[in-house]
Amino acid sequence: MPKEIPIEYRTVVVAVDVVVFSVFDGALHVLLIPVNRPPHYVAMRGLPGGIMEKKETSDEAVLRHLSGKIGLSSIYFEQLYTFTSLGRDKRNRVASIAHLGLVTATEAKRVEREGGVWVPVHEVDKLAFDHNEILDTAVVRLAGKLLYTNIVRHLLPKKFTLTELQKVYEIIRNETFDKRNFRKKILSMNIIHDTGEMQTGVANRPASLYSFTGTKVTEIPLISVI
């Protein structure tokens, strides 16, 4: 009886990958896992992800791989782009549906186990497969979406100060903003509201705590009509 050829050598395999971001310690971090797939990808790092099975959607595959490998359950994610270059995985023909994921700093801390590592985005070097390209795509997308959505909500705790919010914008956008103008702009968008609570135990004037309005990621009409 002839040895059977595994399916993945005969046809296109579908995988999901996730670029999980978190902002802490003054930098945008990405979650990486160890990759060991001889002969091409040995002792490298890469994005978390894996095969999408026949009985699951891409979203289900993302959740399964993140909660399994990384113990990550509380996460926001959305589809980013599907990568289909022929050489992107040197062993098989794998098309990867890449995703952009966001977790809060506290969730990020909880996840540092199972070999998952948070690396500042600007210190990432050669990753397995085409994961550098996927990462670059995700960074651009995230920086863009900050400007016309309230997606930043998934990087911050329930209650946060305006300065914390501004810091996240500055880190991801890689630019600084005037404090007064930033506050005017953000407050005019009606995406956050003052909770009435204040910071406690800080060695300076305590800041007001704000919270995001609504629960979903939505677009904010910033673009002027022609």
**Site stretch for DNA (CB under 7 A), options 44-52, 136-144, 148-156, 206-214:** 206-214
CA dist., res. 185 & res. 189, Å (int): 7
- The widest CA-to-CA distance across the chain, in whole angstroms, is 78
Q: How far is the CB of 112 from its own copies (least distance, A)?
A: 30
**Site stretch for its own copies (CB under 8 A), options 34-42, 85-93, 120-128, 197-205:** 85-93
Q: Is 178 in the site for DNA (CB under 7 A)?
A: yes
> Is residue 210 within 8 Å of residue 194, measured between CB atoms?
yes
| 3-class secondary-structure state, position 136 | helix
Question: Between 64 and 93, whose beta carbon lies closer to its own copies?
Answer: 93
User: What's 226's DSSP letter?
Assistant: -
Among 27, 95, 207, 217, binds DNA (CB under 7 A): 207
Mark residues 186-205: x for contact with DNA by CB under 7 A, - for none.
--x---------x-xxxxxx
CA dist., res. 222 & res. 91, Å (int): 45
Q: Alpha carbon of 38 to those of 57, 93, 97: distances in Å?
A: 29, 16, 23
List residues near DNA by CB under 7 A: 161-163, 178-181, 183-185, 188, 198, 200-208, 222, 224-226
